[in-house]
């Protein structure tokens, strides 16, 4: 990799699902019918969920072609299969012949996506859920938690019904030296780079040596303060699978399936650097931006260029949600008056976000002159 590279390029399938809480996205973006949305693809779950709000178009952008291909696969399956077959194909439920279902779907794929998935028979057979690079790491981490804490403790935590009981259980039973030790072993930047995220993800590392402590502190809210019931992220972290077919992203839920299926053609999948793609868009053309934590794959200079382009292409009163994982990034100082952060909402989003991994979950509103 060249030292002067401004944007890290990824090519392996890192995520097969989103690890950004869709409830945070909905609270920040407040998507209205007929609006235009730009979102980072990642695993494609949240992009599909946005269709429930009836936008006119969703521009799903990712620098990683493999992330575009996972969304293409989900859309092809949605178009082709009924709900029961779809959740079987996904891996949410057992299904013995996923490759036969893939043969039904593949003609819906673009030639590059079809070529990619034709070579991924083992992943198709396993079901795409929880089988990206990061998801495999999470499954391994969950097994390690089970060994350290014991299966009975894990089971008891996941069946707690009240906030008071959850806090008491965490303080008196769960929060052990072994639990702290887990983060030193698994949630440090070297292990994340080698086993969860690709090493290039930390190309713009700020030199921090406290990844483990940072992730431990973030985990306190999800283990102690956010209700266990309804938090499918916690179940994934601890067991490597969803609790049931109800506590899942909206595109997997039966009651939303037909609406999402009907609207999938509103998604435009773009494989490109976000900066370069936004540069092609017209002024005042986008209502909502879900930027995830892409700026950690950019230098500070490139981050400034991105937000300058976001401001140019955003409509008046457009909404933005922006996350950071570890590497600090923020709206450039000279744009703060035009892209003010909603401090109250941002604090609430961070405090209630069910996926503990993000160090910042922030909401902004675009202010433009009349």
Supply the DSSP symbol for 95: -
pLDDT for 293? 82
Residue in 239, 38, 53 with CA at minimum distance from that of residue 153: 239
Contact 41, 71 (CB under 8 A): yes
% helix, strand, coil for the chain, step of 5: 55, 10, 35
Mean pLDDT for all residues in the chain: 89
Which residues, 6+ apart, have CB-to-CB distance to 87 below 8 Å?
93, 245, 252
Residues 229 and 200: beta-carbon distance below 8 Å:
no
pTM of the model: 0.91
**pLDDT the model gives residue 299:** 78
**Residues 72-86 as b or e (16 or more Cβ within 10 Å = b):** bbbbbbbebbebebb
Confidence (pLDDT) at 103: 97
pLDDT of the residue at 37:
98
- The rounded distance, in Å, linking the Cα atoms of 356 and 350 is 9
Identify the pLDDT of residue 255.
Answer: 97
Phi then psi for residue 324, to 5 deg, are -125, 140
What tens digit of pLDDT does each residue of 250-274 get?
999 999 999 999 999 999 999 999 9
Angle at 63 between CA 60 and CA 65, to 5 degrees: 85
Measured between alpha carbons, how far is 331 from 311 in angstroms, rounded to an integer?
10
Residues with Cβ within 8 Å of 19's Cβ and at least 6 positions away in sequence, in order, are 42, 43, 134, 233, 355, 357
Per domain, the residue ranges of the chain are: 22-128+249-365, 133-239
Residue 240 CB contacts under 8 Å (≥ 6 apart), including other chains: 130, 138, 139, 142, 143
Low-confidence ranges of the chain (pLDDT < 50): 1-9, 195-196, 199-201, 203-208
Protein fold of 22-128+249-365 = Rossmann fold (3.40.50)
Q: Looking at residue 188, what is its pLDDT? A: 63
- For the stretch 170-226, pLDDT in tens is 999 999 888 888 887 776 666 565 544 554 445 434 444 566 777 788 888 899 999
């Amino acid at each position: 990799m060249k030292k002067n590279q401004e944007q890290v390029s990824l090519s392996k399938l890192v995520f097969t699902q989103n690890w950004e809480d869709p409830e945070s996205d909905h609270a920040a973006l407040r998507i209205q019918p007929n609006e235009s949305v730009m979102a980072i693809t990642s695993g494609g779950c949240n992009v599909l969920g946005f269709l429930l709000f009836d936008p006119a178009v969703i521009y799903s952008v990712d620098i990683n072609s493999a992330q575009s291909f996972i969304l293409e696969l989900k859309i092809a399956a949605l178009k082709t299969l009924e709900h029961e077959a779809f959740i079987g194909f996904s891996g949410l439920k057992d299904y013995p012949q996923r490759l036969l279902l893939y043969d039904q779907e593949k003609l819906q794929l673009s030639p590059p996506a079809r070529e990619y998935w034709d070579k991924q028979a083992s992943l198709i057979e396993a079901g795409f859920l929880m089988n990206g690079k990061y998801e495999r790491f999470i499954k391994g981490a969950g097994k390690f938690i089970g060994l350290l804490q014991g299966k009975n403790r894990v089971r008891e935590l996941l069946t707690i019904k009240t906030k008071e009981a959850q806090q008491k259980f965490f303080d008196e039973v769960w929060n052990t030296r072994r639990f702290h030790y887990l983060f030193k072993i698994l949630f440090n930047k070297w292990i994340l780079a080698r086993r969860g995220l690709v090493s290039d993800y930390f190309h713009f590392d700020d030199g921090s040596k406290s990844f483990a402590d940072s992730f431990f502190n973030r985990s306190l809210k999800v283990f102690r303060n956010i209700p266990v019931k309804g938090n499918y992220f916690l179940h994934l972290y601890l067991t490597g699978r969803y609790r049931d077919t109800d506590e899942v992203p909206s595109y997997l839920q039966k009651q939303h399936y037909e609406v999402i299926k009907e609207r999938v053609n509103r998604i435009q999948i773009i494989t490109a650097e976000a900066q370069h793609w936004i540069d092609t868009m017209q002024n005042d053309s986008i209502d909502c931006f879900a930027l995830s934590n892409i700026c950690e794959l950019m230098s500070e200079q490139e981050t400034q260029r991105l937000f300058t382009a976001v401001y140019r292409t955003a409509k008046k009163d457009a909404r933005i949600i922006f996350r950071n994982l570890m590497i600090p990034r923020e709206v450039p100082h000279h744009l703060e008056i035009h892209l003010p952060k909603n401090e109250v909402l941002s604090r609430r989003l961070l405090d209630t976000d069910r996926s503990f991994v993000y160090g910042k979950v922030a909401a902004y509103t675009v202010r433009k002159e009349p």
